[in-house]
Amino acid sequence: MTIAIGSDHAGVSLKQEITAYLKERGLDFTDMGPFGPESVDYPDYGERVAGLVAGGKAEKGILICGTGIGMSIVANKFAGIRAALCSEPLSARLSRQHNDANILVLGGRMIGPVMAREIVEIWLETPFEGGRHKLRLDKIFNIEGKKSKDAHQQA
Ligand code: RB5
């Protein structure tokens, strides 16, 4: 599995923690930055990671900003992206089982490193349940289809 990971300055130290964990686990990942504490804009990094996942270049993504809210907003603009902001393991598990979330979003100023590791571990290991949940995802695909059709008609 290839994982794309990115953050802004408010998430960079938690990103370091998570990349260390991914290395320990021997998981394949691409760190899309940033690599220092300088202030950056979360949409730039959210776009890089969500673009890789939406384009099929990465199977899953992990995004971190201060609250996780900005990164969630950015990632969910991309067709095919189901980004889930999780601050505890149960939401992480359910976001995979029910929503087939393909991007995990964390708040670097909201949770500590031990909680974050636990969330990431559960999120990466939990499969999608399919069944009735698949029908609901199909409805989301339809909404996305309508949205792009509307935008096209307005242009
Ligand atoms: C940066 O100060 C902060 O606004 C950002 O990390 C994030 O929390 C936005 O949603």
86 noted as active-site residue: no
pLDDT digit string, tens, across residues 93-117: 999 999 999 999 999 999 999 999 9
Pocket test for ligand 1, best of 65, 76, 111 (most atoms within 8 A of CB): 65
Distance 12 CA to ligand 1 centre (A): 12
**What is the residue with the minimal CA distance to atom 5 of ligand 1?**
66
Whether the full predicted model's pTM is greater than 0.75, yes or no, is yes
CB 19 within 8 A of CB 31: yes
To the nearest 10°, report the CA torsion of 107, 90, 49, 54: -150
Tokens found for residue 54: 């939406």
In this predicted structure, the answer to whether residue 32 has a pLDDT above a threshold of 70 is yes
65 noted as active-site residue: yes
**CB distance 61 to ligand 1 below 6 Å:** no
**CB distance 42 to ligand 1 below 6 Å:** yes
**CB distance 66 to ligand 1 below 6 Å:** yes
Catalytic site residue from 65, 86, 133, 152: 65
Residues 6+ apart with CB under 8 A from 72: 63, 83, 84, 85, 105
Pairing of strands 60-65, 28-31: unpaired
Average pLDDT, the chain: 96
pLDDT digit string, tens, across residues 38-95: 999 999 999 999 999 999 999 999 999 999 999 999 999 999 999 999 999 999 999 9
Among the residues of 28-131, which ranges form H helices? 42-54, 69-75, 89-97, 113-125
Which domains, and CATH codes, for the chain? Answer: 2-130 (3.40.1400.10)
CB 121 within 8 A of CB 80: no
